[in-house]
């Protein structure tokens, strides 16, 4: 019984706020006319989260509904209700995996703790899908990039690569009848003279590598690019993976579609238990 007036008051306050949110947005939509005589309705462009920078500003409640930047000291900077309004619009609402209860759970934690995304806070990276020309054929490549702080400023750097042709090159299990099947344990007494045998069939050299060997796509990519065997053609798609919020992973992708739920949006959100973030990172990096 004691909770009822509070819940009721909350519902009233929420309704007032939602009304205010759209009311405040309206004047900005009214100004949304192109220069010239084109009369199309560009209000969706206002609603669209146009840059990742704007995604972070909206997520954190650092932007007025008209798009002006809020700075610390402004009354609405990081305002809970402003953030709540924004957070409800920052999910890809066409994705059935992002259920209302999942979105609500994420939003509540982001507001209650509270949690803010930090561009320079680490624990996030970009996944860049691109096309390269490799051995005369167009191939997809995935570059993983992160923001690295420098003495002055910061820069995006590669930290990993996934390239399917490299996987194929190393994917074969030890072939049957491979001769020699291994380098016997007393090879050292012969000054490893039997090494010459395994180099006669260089295709399966990795069969003689240590168990922990994993081909390093990043180094191979650099090598192939340096010797001009691989030519970069262009970027196709970019997405971002954030592990900044305790117990949550979010993926942010760009949606170029009709309607107002478009631009940079949360395309995946997963609650994480302890240790799962490393596992998920390895999965994303295809390790």
Note the residues at the interface with another protein (CB under 8 A).
Answer: 31-38, 40-42, 44-46, 50-51, 53-54, 67, 69, 71, 119, 131, 150-155, 233-237, 256-259, 262
* DSSP three-state, residue 12: helix
Q: How far is the CB of 116 from another protein (least distance, A)?
A: 14
Q: At which residue do the structure tokens 């402004």 appear?
A: 74
Q: How far is the CB of 254 from another protein (least distance, A)?
A: 9
Q: DSSP assignment of 128-171, as one string?
A: EEEEEEETTEEEEEEEEEEEEE-SSSEEEEEEEEE-HHHHHHHH
In sequence order, the 6+-apart residues with CB closer than 8 A to the CB of 169 are 215
How many Å from the N-terminal Cα to the C-terminal Cα in the chain?
54
Q: How far is the CB of 33 from another protein (least distance, A)?
A: 6
Nearer to another protein, 41 or 246 (CB): 41
Nearer to another protein, 242 or 264 (CB): 264
From 26, 32, 21, 42, select the one nearest 86 (Cα to Cα): 21
Nearer to another protein, 121 or 271 (CB): 121
Nearer to another protein, 241 or 262 (CB): 262
Neighbours of 97 (CB within 10 A): 10
Q: How far is the CB of 279 from another protein (least distance, A)?
A: 30
Q: How far is the CB of 244 from another protein (least distance, A)?
A: 17
Nearer to another protein, 74 or 201 (CB): 74
């Amino acid at each position: 019984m004691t909770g009822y007036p509070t819940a009721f008051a909350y519902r009233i306050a929420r309704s007032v706020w939602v009304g205010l949110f759209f009311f405040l947005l309206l004047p900005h939509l009214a100004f949304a006319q192109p220069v010239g005589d084109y009369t199309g309705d560009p209000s969706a462009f206002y609603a669209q989260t146009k840059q990742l920078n704007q995604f972070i500003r909206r997520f954190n409640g650092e932007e007025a509904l008209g798009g002006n930047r809020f700075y610390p000291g402004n009354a609405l900077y990081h305002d809970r209700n402003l953030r709540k309004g924004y957070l409800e619009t920052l999910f890809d609402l066409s994705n059935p995996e992002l259920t209302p209860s999942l979105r609500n759970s994420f939003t509540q934690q982001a507001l209650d703790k509270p949690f803010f995304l930090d561009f320079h806070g680490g624990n996030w990276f970009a996944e860049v899908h691109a096309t390269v020309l490799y051995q005369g054929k167009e191939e997809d490549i995935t570059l993983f990039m992160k923001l690295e702080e420098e003495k002055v400023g910061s820069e995006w750097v590669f930290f990993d690569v996934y390239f399917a042709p490299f996987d194929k090159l190393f994917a074969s299990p030890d072939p049957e009848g491979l001769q020699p099947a291994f380098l016997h344990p007393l090879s050292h007494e012969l000054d490893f003279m039997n090494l010459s045998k395994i180099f006669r069939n260089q295709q399966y050299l990795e069969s003689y590598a240590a168990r922990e060997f994993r081909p390093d796509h990043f180094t191979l990519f650099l090598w192939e690019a340096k010797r001009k065997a691989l030519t970069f053609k262009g970027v196709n798609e970019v997405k971002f993976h954030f592990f900044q919020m305790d117990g949550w992973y979010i993926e942010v992708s760009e949606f170029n579609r009709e309607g107002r739920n478009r631009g940079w949006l949360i395309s995946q959100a997963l609650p994480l238990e302890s240790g799962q973030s490393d596992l998920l990172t390895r999965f994303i990096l295809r390790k």
